[in-house]
Structure 1
């Protein structure tokens, strides 16, 4: 059959129109959406402790950190023995590196810490002087470090772990090795208030936190932490918030976690889950295997923590959730306890674990 020329032209035109329409339809398809991340999902800032060497040494570490987090906490590089290894001689190189990296990538910096009973240089441990000399040592260190980072860090853990586990009193002289506080011994019980005052005078815009572990235990430890921060607040001491470390394991009581978060929120201060990790081997089993059941249990605990934090702490008081590092290979737990463990969100190859997805669900569901 011979198709008339006019009909043939119309037929060709129709084909071209259909092809053009198909091309347009193909172009109008939306681009694939990026996978959700911790920082894109959370209604508050998501943080991790970081070390300067890890940032410098691993492209995968850098990439995961930048992609998932918008807040960092200095791991060790701003502690006393690192910053002032000799009296009056300050070493800020590694802390400066962390701050510069965070600033470049638009991350908040939470600095850790001014005053702790550990991580002290020998010159402090062996210091000989009267109460005025001790006060000058104490004040000079806080003011010098706070002034150096003024305007560069958003917040500080001013005093870390000042309360005993057994009876809730302030650490003083050693009962168990390593439990005593040289600061309480030489400066008196009110050294904590003065630490906050000195930090505030040096950097009035920084938010100032008291940081400790064991709130989820309840009992005298939680009672004493609540009493301490409430007293500081009522006295007009410039305290902004409290850090709930949350170094826990998969058996930690959900009821205890919930009760602690409610009581901390009731102080009216900001609440920072500041050092979160969840151990799966609290019994130090040398033959443990990270089974799918353990992974599921750990993921459920991460999810519960995020959900409970969102539900119990008012939005204005949510300073965020910070994990203590993010990759199992960088966790402090295996080396400290000499055991196998997998406490964090990413495995040693920076692959997301079930724990990651559990936390992600808790941040949005």
Structure 2
């Protein structure tokens, strides 16, 4: 069955790309994104952004929710080790900024497979429990009443979708067990926050998306206080049309709030010769981004939790950091100067479809 909305999505996407390809100095028209979003519109933030007046102005115009990009992760908060106080200085500053500007905060993240191994190295049993439980209780408790929601567990599924990741947490508590324990401790520490399970490539890799949803189903059956689904949406612009919509519809069957939590969409092609024109790559990017925005807007109102991009300006993106950056990728809705990219127009068009 042909999805009329998916078919029509190509029209504004190609129009935006034509403008970009034929006259790159011509302005792209897009309304403030928070003004057209059907839910809080968010972005990630680092504390240093608060010192950038241009970033602050762009955020105030477009954003109603903030996610700390890395300073609320274990690698920063517990960087001084078990015998030192946790570091809340930078994230406190972010939370204060959000409150002063009428923005919500989404906490990111309590337990992640890639962090914390140094804290629990050599520990087991009661000692391991103490570190795990104290970390979740202390961090979630510190921000009780100050954050709207939490990514309680981040990225539990393997890249290929074969199953759960093996990590220091799962080796102590079991593949599902560490997830259950984290949610239970987070709920006790901050009962009012909405608790999310968050992962990436759920739209890009159908096998991984299906495995993630099987985990959601197991957790709910086990009585886990899982209250929301977070899909990062680091989009592969080459995935087939309709694939994003299919995943969002499948995720929606649980009736849980859905957070598009870390949207970006690189124009680069890794590891192969790319013969596509700029226009073709932009058509793919804006088409997939618009499809995501339409699928999100089509959710029941109670399931539209938030729609967050992983950075405002292209130069803020993690995809534009490091030696491999050629300065040409445009994975976010705004240019380095804060002008709208075709992606911004695609998001707005999708919300208003």
What range is the shorter-chain TM-score in? 0.7 to 0.9
Q: Does 1:268 align with 2:264?
A: no
Note the C-alpha offset of 1:117: 1.4
The aligned residue for residue 196 of structure 2 is 209
The aligned residue for residue 10 of structure 2 is none
CA contact (8 A) 1:80 1:121 kept: no
CA contact (8 A) 2:244 2:288 kept: no
Higher mean alpha-carbon deviation, 238-247 vs 282-291, is at 282-291
The aligned residue for residue 46 of structure 2 is 51
Distance 2:157 2:73 in 1: 18
| Uncovered stretches (5+) of structure 2, i.e. residues with no partner | 1-29
Q: Deviations over 1:132-167 (max 9, x none)?
A: 211111111000001100000010000001111224
Higher relative contact order (CA 8 A, sep 6+): 2
Counterpart pick for 1:87 among 82, 98, 103? 82
**Compared CA separation, residues 286 and 271, structure 1 to 2 (3 A):** same
> Which consecutive aligned stretches of 4+ in structure 1 deviate over 6 angstroms post-superposition?
285-290
Note the C-alpha offset of 1:123: 3.5
Counterpart pick for 1:345 among 326, 333, 336? 333
Q: Does 1:363 align with 2:335?
A: no
The aligned residue for residue 34 of structure 2 is 39
Partner secondary structure for residue 254 of structure 1: coil
The aligned residue for residue 14 of structure 1 is none
CA contact (8 A) 1:296 1:355 kept: no
| Uncovered stretches (5+) of structure 1, i.e. residues with no partner | 1-34, 173-180
Distance 1:69 1:101 in 2: 13
Distance 1:263 1:79 in 2: 29
Q: Does 1:229 align with 2:224?
A: no
Distance 2:332 2:161 in 1: 31
After superposition, the CA RMSD in angstroms is: 2.2
The aligned residue for residue 186 of structure 1 is 172
Higher mean alpha-carbon deviation, 331-340 vs 144-153, is at 331-340
Q: Does 1:316 align with 2:302?
A: yes
Q: How does 1:66-105 map to 2 (within 5 A)?
A: 66-85=60-79, 86-88=81-83, 89-105=85-101
CA contact (8 A) 2:38 2:304 kept: no
Distance 2:201 2:282 in 1: 23
Note the C-alpha offset of 1:289: 10
Distance 2:44 2:287 in 1: 22
**Compared CA separation, residues 54 and 299, structure 1 to 2 (3 A):** same
Q: Deviations over 1:281-332 (max 9, x none)?
A: 1235799998354334422322221112222x21111112101011110101
CA contact (8 A) 1:196 1:238 kept: yes
The aligned residue for residue 105 of structure 2 is 109
Distance 2:334 2:145 in 1: 32
User: Matched residue pairs, number?
Assistant: 320
Partner secondary structure for residue 229 of structure 2: strand
Counterpart pick for 1:328 among 308, 314, 318? 314
